[in-house]
Amino acid sequence: MARMKFYCDAERCIECNGCVTACKNENEVPWGVNRRRVVTIKDGEHGERSLSVACMHCSDAPCATVCPVDCFYTTDDGVVLHDKDICIGCGYCFYACPFGAPQFPEDGAFATRGKMDKCTFCAGGPLPDGSAEEYRKYGANRLAEGKLPLCAEMCATKALLAGDADVVSEIYRKRVILRGASVLDWGVSYQKATLRAPRGLSGKSSLKP
């Protein structure tokens, strides 16, 4: 059984916001809602890094435990989804989520919060796969078509990876070995590289001689 995860490689993300645009376009999300965002730290300074953030599809999702109407469920692929026919738009998932994934369109009393909307890992919702109603409420269901989320598919630098955790881990592991330092040494990973760039990558990597 697959366990779907996102991973954003901060060493590769160039803050192009292609993933944000791809997500908005593919899912036709409501106005004011952004399922994905790119956050840049130390912008314009030495050690600048960017991360693309959306729902992390947690194994033990805090949003699901605080929901007063219990509208969340985890699919067989490990994707955390919610039922908008059950959701009441209370905002508790937004308080509990560490990543700020849940979003709220303007609706309800005083037009402050409507039913929650968040990243679905392009897996639609509880309605029949590929139905018009599913698309209207939850956006695309690419997983049912055998495709991965469009944000990761569109990523120009392949910083944003999506897929089975085993596969994503393996890709990332290879990258770390090639870099010679883990992302834990943020800001110094290239300078501290102990391995030389592989022959095939010379001239293509950002390693300074």
**Which residues bind to another protein, rule: CB under 8 A?**
3, 5-8, 10, 17, 20, 32, 34, 37-45, 51, 53, 56, 59-60, 62, 65-71, 83, 85-92, 94-100, 103-104, 106, 108-110, 112-113, 165-166, 168-169, 172-173, 182-184, 186
Helices (H), 54-203: 62-66, 92-96, 132-138, 150-154, 165-179
Nearer to another protein, 128 or 130 (CB): 128
Q: How far is the CB of 41 from another protein (least distance, A)?
A: 5
Residue 62's identity, in one-letter code, is P
Nearer to another protein, 74 or 205 (CB): 74
Nearer to another protein, 86 or 193 (CB): 86
Q: How far is the CB of 207 from another protein (least distance, A)?
A: 22
Question: What region does 60 belong to: left with phi over 0, alpha with psi -120 to 50, or beta?
Answer: beta
Q: How far is the CB of 157 from another protein (least distance, A)?
A: 16
Nearer to another protein, 92 or 138 (CB): 92
Whether residue 159 contacts residue 8, with contact meaning beta carbons closer than 8 Å, is answered with yes
Tokens representing residue 44 in the block = 């314009």
3-state secondary structure of 141: strand
Residue 194's identity, in one-letter code, is T
Tokens representing residue 191 in the block = 């300078």
Nearer to another protein, 85 or 129 (CB): 85
Q: How far is the CB of 165 from another protein (least distance, A)?
A: 4
Helices (H), 37-185: 62-66, 92-96, 132-138, 150-154, 165-179
